[in-house]
Structure 1
Amino acid sequence: MPLNPDSELARLMATLPQVGKVEWIGLRPAREKVMLEVESAEALTAGGLRGDRYKGGSGKRGITLIQAEHLPVIAALAGRDVLPALLRRNVVVSGIPLIALKARQFRIGDVVLQGTDPCDPCSRMETALGAGGYNAMRGHGGLCARIVSGGSFRIGDEVVAL
């Protein structure tokens, strides 16, 4: 059942007074290849990021984001250091709750995105993080987004709910 847009819960969910910030950007050149850390990226409308293996793939997962504040949590639960490239998400964002952007449009640099689904961990996290890695990421995997309007963005750009 859809949420009543006039409800108190809808009002609370729509309240995002803060903006976020892009902390890290990575591209996956191919399956099981090391991610490439980049300073900026080009997002292709209804596609993915230029240079990423998912470019032109499913529109609802054109880009994946993870919250910087969750990296220490994942590290603590996995019992090891966690670098962003290890988690295979395209963008690390700080300062804004990503889950609040699900089903909403938001802007990063010139790019307009639509949050689609939580970005659940895949079975590869067990290998990447060690035994229990999959469970360490559950609830902390970030957000998948569709690229509504392409363009470029870079490290330091704001993440703003529209």
Structure 2
Amino acid sequence: MATSLKELMYGPMHAGRLDWIGLRPARRETLQSVATASVEIGGGLVGDHYTGPLDGKRMVSMIQAEHLTAVAGILGLARVTPLMTRRNLVVSGLNLLALKGRQFTIGDALFEFTGPCAPCSRMDENLGPGGFQAMRGHGGIIARVLRAGTIKVGDAVVVLDVAQHLSNSATLRLFDDS
């Protein structure tokens, strides 16, 4: 049994599931739903227009499937789709904000939580008036790619435990040229 808040924060988490993958071929283009995607270090999802610097924080954006229902309820809509939120990945069964300070795998790719994904002004365009406000606190997270790989819809989202996280961080530092 955990005895401190820190132990609770880094305690075990159940795996989630990757429900949807979306790629934007160009800025302001509609996302394209795909079943499989390649993930590159320094580039995020292959085929997505966004490619950040190697040390960038926003390589992949993620949202919880459960939050799509919440945003729809806030706006009085029957449904909010992943396309409307402009996030790359939709995950269910896992509290994404609980990934703060953690690493996780999807398929054979390794990711690291880098921050919350704040809504942008496009939310009012995509969701209607009030879309930006409805997405506040429900925008998901952004993540950095630490190991390239392939992800596919249905893959488990597995959170590394603290021992794995520390071991993996030490390994990554061994190969860091800086």
TM-score by length of 2: 0.84
Cα deviation for residue 13 of structure 1 reads 1.1
1:81-106 residue CA offsets vs partner (Å, 9 max, x unmatched): 21101100000001111001122110
Match of 1:139 among 117, 137, 140: 137
**What is the match of residue 165 of structure 2?**
none
Query: 1:47·1:146 contact (CA, 8 Å) conserved in 2?
Result: no
Match of 1:74 among 47, 71, 74: 71
Cα deviation for residue 55 of structure 1 reads 2.5
Cα deviation for residue 56 of structure 1 reads 4.1
Query: 1:43·1:147 contact (CA, 8 Å) conserved in 2?
Result: yes
Where does structure 1 lack aligned partners over 5 or more consecutive residues?
1-5
Query: 1:125·1:134 contact (CA, 8 Å) conserved in 2?
Result: yes
SS of match in other structure, 1:75: helix
TM-score by length of 1: 0.92
1:100-150 residue CA offsets vs partner (Å, 9 max, x unmatched): 112211000010000000001001101111111001000000010000001
Letter in 2 for 1:33: E
2:23 equivalent to 1:27: yes
**What is the match of residue 49 of structure 2?**
53
d(CA) in 2 for partners of 1:78 and 1:84? 15
2:96 equivalent to 1:95: no
Percent identical pairs in the alignment equals 50
d(CA) in 2 for partners of 1:7 and 1:45? 37
Query: 2:119·2:139 contact (CA, 8 Å) conserved in 1?
Result: yes
Letter in 1 for 2:36: S
Cα deviation for residue 7 of structure 1 reads 7.8
d(CA) in 1 for partners of 2:38 and 2:100? 22
SS of match in other structure, 2:44: coil
How big is the alpha-carbon RMSD for the aligned residues of Structure 1 and Structure 2? 1.5
Letter in 2 for 1:128: N
Q: Matched residue pairs, number?
A: 157
SS of match in other structure, 2:45: coil
**What is the match of residue 60 of structure 2?**
63
Query: 1:60·1:146 contact (CA, 8 Å) conserved in 2?
Result: yes
- Which structure would you say has the larger Rg? 2
Q: Which runs of 4+ in 1 moved over 3 A?
A: none
Cα deviation for residue 16 of structure 1 reads 3.2
Match of 2:7 among 11, 30, 33: 11
